Structures are given as structure tokens and as C-alpha cells.
Amino acid sequence: QVQLVESGGGLVQAGGSLRLSCAASGRIFSINAMDWYRQAPGKQRELVAGITSGGNTNYAGSVKGRFTISRDNAKKMVYLSMNSLKPEDTAVYYCNVLARTSGWAPTKEYWGQGTQVTVSS
């Protein structure tokens, strides 16, 4: 199994910054991609940012230019640096990892518990 633990969430004023971290552990053969999702009240869960094993990244249009996703392959960690935060960024942020637990196993999704990010105006 794969376990993901997020950290770094909290309360920040608009315009401020936060850095989220996600640590992956457990039986991991390979990680294909690491992503950040968020779920805000009254809104559907959305992909915020993703990064592949090759370093390719993608961002939601609403965060592009403000958020940066990065990863440390050796540490099996993914980060989300969030700058110029807005109240609409308020949400529970979830780490998502696409990983294999063995060389023959298919790639599956694994989720963290989430970390709350609250941006006040």
C-alpha cells in the first residue's frame, strides 16, 4: 500500500504564501505522477497542479503563475508553493499520487487525508 501525508496548510491572509508538502511512503515501486487537488465548499474537486516523473507540469488556469509544483524523487515528496493567495484558494488540498506497488502492478491512484488552506481577506 501507499500512504500520503500532507502538511503545510494553515490560515494566511490574502496575498500571502504557503508551501504544502506531501510525503509518500509504503510499498512503492515507482511513481508516475504526483498531483495536488483541492475541494472548496460548494465546488467540485479540481486538479490544481500535477507533475510527472519526467518533470512535466500542468496547472489549473486559476493558479497558473501563482502556484508552483515541484518534487523530490529521492524523498518521494511533492510540494506546492502557493503565492499571492486569494480567498478563493480556500479549500482542502489533497495530495494524489499515481504509483505502482510492484513492477507488474498497474498504476493506481492514492490520496492523502488533505490539509486545510484558508485565505482570509
- Residues 24-44 pLDDT 10s: 999 999 999 999 999 998 999
Mean pLDDT of the residues in the chain = 96
| CA dihedral over 97, 109, 83, 15, signed as positive or negative | negative
For residues 76-88, one letter each, b for 16 or more C-beta atoms within 10 angstroms of the residue's C-beta and e for the rest, the string is bbbbbebeebeee
Cα dihedral 57, 101, 114, 90 in deg (nearest 10): 20
pLDDT tens per residue, range 65-96:
999 999 999 999 999 999 999 999 999 999 99
Residue pair 96/34 in contact (Cβ under 8 Å)? The answer is: yes
Q: Residue 23 — pLDDT band, cuts 50, 70, 90? A: very high
Confidence of residue 1 (pLDDT cuts 50, 70, 90): confident
Q: Please, how many CA atoms are within 13 Å of residue 76, restricted to the half-sphere of its CB? A: 18
pLDDT surpassing 90 at residue 106: yes
Half-sphere exposure of residue 36: CA atoms within 13 angstroms, side-chain side: 34
Res. 18: pLDDT tops 90: yes
pLDDT higher than threshold 90 for residue 120: yes
Beta-sheet pairing, 2-7 with 18-26 = antiparallel
